[in-house]
Structure 1
Amino acid sequence: MLEIKNIKENNHDILLLEGEVDASNSVELDSSIQQLSEEGATVILVDASGLEYISSAGLGVFMSYLEDFQERNVKMIIFGLKEKVHQVFVILGLDKLMNIKKSKEEALEEVK
């Protein structure tokens, strides 16, 4: 099960993820990111501190925005990954392609 909350905080859009992202609900994650993009967000912070698991479908959602966001100068920063979830990103080399920070403070520092 996945719960997604969209929070506006100090002019930043934060997607708060709780639970698991898998093939059955990755479309919800995609819709949330797409909505922020369509609303003109230039910074999307993804709070993954409550994320317990992510499947290849969930990773694919993040990957699908990399090129588009780079072309449009949109920053997407994922932060707060639990170690076991972070390792999935590392094993697949996604930590080199995506902007991943340990904490919300580090993510906010990146967008100052």
Structure 2
Amino acid sequence: MLTIEKTHESPNWILKLTGEIDASNSVNVDSAIQELLKSGAENLLVDCTDLEYISSAGLGVFMSYLEEFQEKNIGMVIFGLKDKVFQVFHILGLDQLIRIKPDKSAALAS
């Protein structure tokens, strides 16, 4: 099960992901990001403090936006990854492509 919460703390939009992201619900994460982009979001912080699992489909959602975000100068920082979830990003080298910070204060400072 996945819960997605969107909050605005100007100038940042925070996308809080709770639970597990897998093939069955990764489209919901994609939809949430699309909604934020349509609302004009330029800074996106992804709070993964309560994210227990992410599948390759979930990783693919984040990967699919890298080029677009770079072209449109949209900032994205993922923070609060649990060790086992961070390892998935690390093994695939995504920690080299996506800004990942340990907590919200570090994400805000980046």
Q: TM over 0.5: same fold?
A: yes
Cα distance in 1 between the residues matched to 2:39 and 2:8: 13
Q: Show CA shifts across 1:22-52 (max 9, x none).
A: 0000000000001111111110000000000
Cα distance in 1 between the residues matched to 2:85 and 2:28: 19
TM-score, normalization by structure 2: 0.98
- Alignment-mate amino acid for residue 22 of structure 1: D
> Identical aligned pairs, as a percentage?
62
- Name segments (4+ residues, structure 1) moved above 4 Å: none
**Paired position in structure 2 for 1:39:** 39
**Displacement after TM superposition at 1:10 (Å):** 3.7
- Alignment-mate amino acid for residue 86 of structure 2: H
C-alpha contact 2:11 2:43 (8 A) present in aligned 1: no
TM-score, normalization by structure 1: 0.96
- 1:5 counterpart SS class: strand
Cα distance in 1 between the residues matched to 2:12 and 2:42: 9
**Paired position in structure 2 for 1:79:** 79
- Pairing of 1:1-112 with structure 2 (within 5 A): 1-110=1-110
Cα distance in 2 between the residues matched to 1:11 and 1:66: 20
Cα distance in 1 between the residues matched to 2:32 and 2:11: 17
Gaps of 5+ in 1: none
Name the Cα RMSD after superposition. 0.7
**Displacement after TM superposition at 1:9 (Å):** 1.9
Cα distance in 1 between the residues matched to 2:63 and 2:38: 18
- 2:28 counterpart SS class: helix
